[in-house]
């Protein structure tokens, strides 16, 4: 892919559905960092939309499904994909639990305990990222780093504080 194509096969804006309320400071921080990181560096190309980006993405939840509404830079709709959250449900639940343990540990545990929890947290995050990447296969082409940032946002859609 040429440099010009790479600049087009990317997200320039990510919006989370307005129905998602504010949450804890830890969750809000994760959301802001993930969106910032995602916008700064990503690889995002809807399948069969040959290089007509860059794109805007609106993520939302509808009837226990994840909605990816993709639009062009000017706001014109490109495609909407709706994914079942069932394959992610266990991973997200486990990720919540380990994140809570991690945030508690940061405040009161030894560095070695924090590191052990963080290793588990990163492992679950990788598993969720790969699952999301697999679920988007054939719909939206993304790389693993983009999948990691999107997985963080998927988790934020569930965390309501």
Number of domains, the chain: 1
pTM score: 0.83
- pLDDT tens, position by position, 1-43: 444 555 689 999 998 876 565 677 877 787 888 889 999 999 9
Residues paired with 84 in a beta bridge: 65
- Average pLDDT of the chain, as a whole number: 87
Instruction: From 2, 11, 15, select the one nearest 141 (Cα to Cα).
Output: 11
Instruction: From 41, 37, 31, 33, select the one nearest 10 (Cα to Cα).
Output: 41
Residue 21, domain extent: 3-158
Q: pLDDT band for 65, please (50, 70, 90 cuts).
A: confident
What's the CA gap between 125 and 123, in Å, rounded? 5
Q: Using the structure block, give the residue that is written with the tokens 């802001």.
A: 32
| Reduced DSSP (H G I as helix, E B as strand, rest coil) percent helix, strand, coil of the chain, to 5 | 55, 20, 25
For residue 100, report the phi and psi dihedrals to the nearest 5 degrees: -60, -45
């Amino acid at each position: 892919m040429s440099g010009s194509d790479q600049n087009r096969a990317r997200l320039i804006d990510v919006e989370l559905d307005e129905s998602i309320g504010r949450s804890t400071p830890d969750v809000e921080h994760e959301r802001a960092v993930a969106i910032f990181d995602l916008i700064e560096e990503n690889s995002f190309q809807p399948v069969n939309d040959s290089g007509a980006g860059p794109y805007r993405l609106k993520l939302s939840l509808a009837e226990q499904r994840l909605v990816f509404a993709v639009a062009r830079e000017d706001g014109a709709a490109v495609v909407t994909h709706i994914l079942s959250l069932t394959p992610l449900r266990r991973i997200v639940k486990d990720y919540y639990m380990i994140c809570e343990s991690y945030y508690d540990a940061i405040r009161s545990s030894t560095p070695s305990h924090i590191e052990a929890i963080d290793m588990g947290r990163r492992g679950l995050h990788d598993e969720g990222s790969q699952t999301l990447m697999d679920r988007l296969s054939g719909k939206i082409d993304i790389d693993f780093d983009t999948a990691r940032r999107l997985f963080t946002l998927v988790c934020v859609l569930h965390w309501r504080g």
